[in-house]
Amino acid sequence: MKRRKSLSLQILSIVLVSVFLLAACQPAGGEASEVEVFSWWTGGGEAAGLDAMIEVFKEKNPNIEFVNSAVAGGAGTNARAVLATRLSQNEPPDSWQGHAGQELIGTYVKDEKIEPLNFLYDEEGWLDVMPATLIPLISDGGNIYSVPVNIHRANVIWSNSQILADNGISIPTSMDEWFAAMDALQAAGVTPLSMGEQWTAMHLFETIMLSSLGPDKYNGLWDGSTDWGSSDVTAALEAFTKTLSYTNSDASSLSWQDASQLVVDGSAAFNVMGDWAQGFYQELGLEPNTDYGWAPVPGTGGNFQFLSDSFVLAVGAPDRDAALAWLKVAGSKDGQDAFNPVKGSIPARSDGDVSLYNVYLQSAMDDWASNTVVGSLTHGVVANDSWKSEIDTALGLFLQDQDVGAFQAALVAACASTGPCQ
Ligand code: GAL
C-alpha cells in the first residue's frame, strides 16, 4: 500500500516536472512562434555579427523561429526604403534595426511606428547598464523606444602600414599633414584615399566637417547654432572638396567593403569608414596593427563621432511576445558580447567582457570613455530622415559638379526647410 502510494507520487511528480519543463520551453503565449527581424547586415562582417547574436537567441528561445529578413546594401540605403514601404502598408517586421538619435525619434517615433519599452528597461534593469548619454537619444516624452546593441565609431581612418612605410609617411594628425601625405602618395602613383558609393562620401563629409569645424561648431550645425552659410562652413566644404580629389575614380560603383578592401590589398593607402570595417577585416583573417592601421580621421583626435545600432518593437508587431524575446537578447550581456567582437563595435552596455574584444576595439572602448562624443549624420544620430535626404540630394549634385557655392546654398536651404533653421 505504502509502495503503491509512493509510486503514484513519483508518477505525479514526473508528470508535474514534465509539464513545468514544457511550459518553460514554450514562448510566452504558449504557442510555437516566429520573430521577423529586419536589418541590412548581409555580409562583410555584419552578417557574422548578427549570426552570433541569433545563436544566443536560439539557445534561449528554442521554440521561436528566427526569420532574418536582412536587405543588402551598406548603411541601410536599400533596406530602409523597403522598410518605409512596409511601414506605410502597415506590414511591419516584428523588430528592426534603427539608429539611436533623430532617425529613431524624428522618424519612427514621430510616425508612431514603434512602441515604448520602459517596462522592459525596468524588468531587465537596463537603466543601470546602458550609458546615460544614450538614453536621451532613444527617448521622447519620458518614453524609451529602442534597445541599443552597440556603439560604433564613424571617424576612423584605416591605413596600409606598408604603403605608408614605403613612402616615408607617418599617420597624419591634422588635415594639413594629411593633404601633404596624400600629395606625396599621388606623386608616387599610389591612390591616396579609397571611397565607395554615395553614402560613403557622406560619411567622409561628416568626418571632414568635424575635423574642420571642431566639435562645438559641428554640433551647432545640427541644433541651428552654427550658420550653414558661414565662412567656417565654406572652409570645411573646401577641405572636403580637396579630400575628394585624392579618391579613386570608380568610387560610385564600389560598396564600402570594396573600398575597405583596396587598402588591405595595397591598392590604396587610406580609407575613412566606421569601425564595421574592423569586423570586415577580421572576417578576412587580417590582424590589426599588422595588416592594417587605424587612427582618428586627421584633425578629429580626442573626438568620438558615434552611432548606435538599436532594435525596436513595431506597433502591431505580428508576434509581440517573440519580438520581446529578441529584444531581451539584444539588450543582454550575452547577446552583446557575442555580437560586438565580431561586428567590430563595442557593447552599448557598460559591463561587456573586455577580454573578448581585440586591440582595436579595446582602444575604441578607451576613447568612448574619455573623448568628446559627437553624433553621426550618415548613421542617423543628428538629423531626421527628411533633412538627411535633402543633404544627400545636395551631395549627389556636388559630387557631379564640385560647385562649393551651390552646395553650400543647398545646405543652407535644407536646414531652413527640414532642419532646425525653419
Ligand atoms: C551603419 C550601421 C552599421 C553598419 C554600416 C554599414 O549605418 O549602423 O552597423 O552596418 O551601416 O552597413
Query: Is pLDDT above 80 for 95?
Result: yes
Nearest Cα neighbor of 293 from 151, 172, 119, 129 is 172
Please work out whether the CB of residue 309 comes within 6 Å of at least one atom of ligand 1.
Answer: yes
What SS3 state is found at 158?
Answer: strand
Please report, for the chain, the start and end positions of each structural domain, with discontinuous segments joined by +: 34-152+307-375, 153-306+383-418
Q: How far apart are CA 334 and CA 9, in angstroms?
A: 39
What's phi and psi for 213, nearest 5 deg? -90, -25
pLDDT digits (tens, 9 = 90+) for 344-365: 999 999 999 999 999 999 999 9
CA atoms lying within 13 Å on the CB side of residue 122: 5
Confirm whether pTM is higher than 0.85: yes
pLDDT band at 208 (very low <50, low <70, confident <90, very high): very high
> How many Å lie between the centroid of ligand 1 and the Cα of residue 21?
40
- Substitution candidate for ligand 1 out of 39, 51, 152 with most atoms within 8 A of CB: 152
Q: What's the CA angle centered on 263, arms 399 and 218, to 5 degrees? A: 50
> How many Å lie between the centroid of ligand 1 and the Cα of residue 276?
7
pLDDT digits (tens, 9 = 90+) for 299-330: 999 999 999 999 999 999 999 999 999 999 99
What pLDDT is stored for residue 105 in this prediction? Answer: 97
Q: Dihedral sign, CA of 342, 343, 349, 350? A: positive
Give the sheet arrangement for strand 309-311, strand by strand: 64-68, 33-38, 95-99, 309-311, 147-148
Please state the CATH superfamily assignment of the domain spanning residues 34-152+307-375 in this structure.
Periplasmic binding protein-like II (3.40.190.10)
Q: How far apart are CA 405 and CA 108, in angstroms?
A: 34
What's phi and psi for 66, nearest 5 deg? -95, 120
Nearest CA to ligand 1 atom 2: 75
> How many Å lie between the centroid of ligand 1 and the Cα of residue 396?
20
pLDDT band at 13 (very low <50, low <70, confident <90, very high): low
Q: How far apart are CA 260 and CA 268, in angstroms?
A: 9
What pLDDT is stored for residue 8 in this prediction? Answer: 52
- Substitution candidate for ligand 1 out of 271, 309, 310 with most atoms within 8 A of CB: 309
pLDDT digits (tens, 9 = 90+) for 123-181: 999 999 999 999 999 999 999 999 999 999 999 999 999 999 999 999 999 999 999 99
Residues 153-306+383-418, CATH architecture: 3-Layer(aba) Sandwich (3.40)
- The DSSP string of 2-51 is HHHHHHHHHHHHHHHHHHHHHHHHSPTTSS-EEEEEE-S--STTHHHHHH
pLDDT band at 21 (very low <50, low <70, confident <90, very high): very low
